Every structure is written in C-alpha cells, then in structure tokens.
Amino acid sequence: MSRLNASQIAEAMQALDSWQLDGEEIRKQFVFEDFMVAMAFVNRVAEVAEAANHHPDIDIRYNKVLCALSTHSEGGLTNKDFELAARMDSLTEAQV
C-alpha cells in the first residue's frame, strides 16, 4: 500500500458520493432519521472497518455521523481509504 498522489486522489474522489477532501483525509457527514439508525450505521461501519483493519475517525452527533479517513501509517490517503469510503456508502444504501 502506498500513498496516492494528487492526480490519483482527484480520480478516486470522482467515484465517491459527497465525500470531501480535507488536507490529508477524506470526510463525509451521514445524516439519519434518528440516533438509533445512526448508531446502527456506526456498528456496521465498525464491523467492516475491523475486517479491513482500517479504522475511520467517527464523530456522532445525535442523527449525524461524521466519518474521516486517512492512512496514518502512510501519512495520507491510500486506496484503502477510498475502498472503505465506498463500502461505507453502500452500507447506507442497504438500510434505505
């Protein structure tokens, strides 16, 4: 696994829905109908992240979940971040 360069990051960002580049990480706020639905999402993310051995930063505010991804061991973004971001997006689609 190696850190992506600016053009690789730009290309990978195009494949994501509503994620934003913020320095050396990508972020997205997920909004749910209530706290319990938000927590169910966080628990699903935890399972997927643990299986991938790649853990996001998560901030929970009632029905809003802010997720941030970066590969700290590489000092920036790698394919692992974009793969987990896409997987997180698919988790929200599965619950609708």
5-48 residue pLDDT tens: 999 999 999 999 999 999 999 999 999 999 999 999 999 999 99
**Domain that includes residue 20, residue range:** 6-95
The total number of structural domains in the chain stands at 1
Q: Are strands 20-22 and 25-31 parallel, antiparallel or unpaired?
A: antiparallel
20 belongs to a structural domain: yes
84 within 8 A of 57, measured Cβ to Cβ:
no
> Does residue 73 belong to any structural domain of this protein?
yes
- Residue 92's pLDDT band, with cuts at 50, 70 and 90, is confident
CA contacts within 13 A on the Cβ side of 37: 13
Question: Using CA atoms, how far apart are residues 49 and 5, in angstroms rounded to an integer?
Answer: 23
pLDDT value, residue 94: 54
19 located within any domain: yes
Using an 8 Å Cβ cutoff, are 58 and 52 in contact? Answer: no
Could you tell me if residue 89 is inside a domain? yes
* Average pLDDT value for the chain: 94
